[in-house]
Amino acid sequence: MPMITYREALHQALREEMSRDERVVVFGEDVVAYGGAYGVTSGLAKDFGDHRIMDTPIAEGVIGGAAVGAAMGGLRPVAELMTINFALLASDALINHAAKVLHMFGGQMSVPLVVRMVGGGGAQLASTHSQSFEVMFAHVPGLKVVTPATPADAKGLLKSAIRDDDPVLCIEHALLYRVRGEVPEGEFLVSLGKAEVKREGKDITLVAYSRMTLVALEAADRLREEGIEAEVVDLRSLRPLDMETVLASVRKTNRAVTIEETWRTYGIGAEVASRIQEEAFDYLDAPIQRVAGVEVPIPYAKHLEQAAIPDAKRVVEAVKQLLVRTGG
């Protein structure tokens, strides 16, 4: 299987879906000549022409709204926002409109759109360009949210998102575009709403998504050196949320740590932990721990930024705190 980058995997997904279905169009900030803020759409204009891929002004409100209208008009738009931080300006279109059309108008019309955006921090872009707002969107019934961690998932999830008849937000991570991984060529789909066990283990379940999946895997490596076998569940989709895979793992290991880059309060970990105790309380051998971003605006200075974002060391510490034995 070819080793390609996360960026190339996303590009491949777009290219394949645009070839497969003429209704698939791409528009967004700097997607044509510039090739996208992170280079994902580079070269698409040359091959598909300017009626299939279009630049927009840096005006996220109309990008989001036009995507909703285009979908209602029969297209399958893939809109690109430069970053999730800008998505706040598109959130009205996504939350008040995209998420409502099917239900509020009596089931007459669905909105098959994808909005791609980069989220997360770690690139020293300071407070307004390093945030993780996936919780905000995953909170909304009617939206779907995917957060690929690997190149293969990036391709498979984006292709599935484009084919899905509902509005899907594809939240990529700034530090993952250059990560390489094996990606199947051609038709390769990853179902929305299906988590994946990225690594098996018997002692504890680490629940993560997006870049934190890689952090969890690194933590699992370190834990193995100490004889602790951690199982890593990559949520992949935040809505629909695949709790079955999480619960199956927790029923096996009896312990869980959630890992997220977003702020801890009201976060993904809060939701996952709550669902675990609701649905698998009698399988728990310890309280569920959350490792999350610290509750501050993310600063520019490198060491401050790093202190604000979870890393493998913090995951290992959290795991050990659960596994500490008091003699006997």
Please identify which residue in 9, 29, 53, 64 interacts with another protein, judged by CB under 8 A. 64
Please identify which residue in 54, 88, 179, 307 interacts with another protein, judged by CB under 8 A. 54
**144 binds another protein, rule: CB under 8 A:** yes
* Count of positions on this chain that bind another protein (CB under 8 A): 62
- Which of 254, 258, 138, 243 has the alpha carbon at shortest distance from 207? 258
Please identify which residue in 1, 104, 123, 296 interacts with another protein, judged by CB under 8 A. 104
Please identify which residue in 19, 47, 105, 294 interacts with another protein, judged by CB under 8 A. 105
C-alpha distances (whole Å) from 19 to each of 119, 199, 213, 233, 238 are 27, 34, 31, 33, 28
Of 177-185, 225-233, 267-275, 316-324, which part binds another protein (CB under 8 A)?
Answer: 316-324
Of 65-73, 126-134, 261-269, 309-317, which part binds another protein (CB under 8 A)?
Answer: 65-73
Give whichever of 176 and 276 is closer to another protein, judged by the CB atom: 276
CB of 196 to another protein, least distance (A): 20
CB of 89 to another protein, least distance (A): 9
Please identify which residue in 26, 37, 71, 223 interacts with another protein, judged by CB under 8 A. 71
d(CA 106, CA 122): 43
15 touches 44 (CB < 8 A): yes
CB of 69 to another protein, least distance (A): 2
Give whichever of 46 and 324 is closer to another protein, judged by the CB atom: 324
**52 binds another protein, rule: CB under 8 A:** yes
Helix (H, G, I), strand (E, B) or coil at 230: strand
Phi-psi group of 276: left, alpha or beta (phi > 0 → left; psi -120 to 50 → alpha; rest → beta)? alpha
Q: What strands lie across the sheet with 230-234, from one edge to the other? A: 196-199, 230-234, 204-208, 256-263, 289-293
DSSP structure string for 172-204 = EETTTTT-EEE--SSS----TT--EEEE--SSE
Please identify which residue in 5, 12, 41, 56 interacts with another protein, judged by CB under 8 A. 56
Q: Residue 240: is the preceding peptide bond cis (ω within 30°)? A: yes
Give whichever of 51 and 303 is closer to another protein, judged by the CB atom: 51
Q: Which residues are part of the catalytic machinery?
A: 60, 129
Q: Which two tokens stand for residue 245?
A: 């895979």
Give the strand pairing for 53-56 and 204-208. unpaired
111 touches 119 (CB < 8 A): no
Interacting residue ranges for another protein, rule: CB under 8 A: 23, 25, 51-52, 54, 56-57, 59, 61-75, 77, 92-93, 96-97, 101-110, 112, 141-142, 144, 164-166, 192, 240, 254, 279, 281-286, 321-322, 324-328
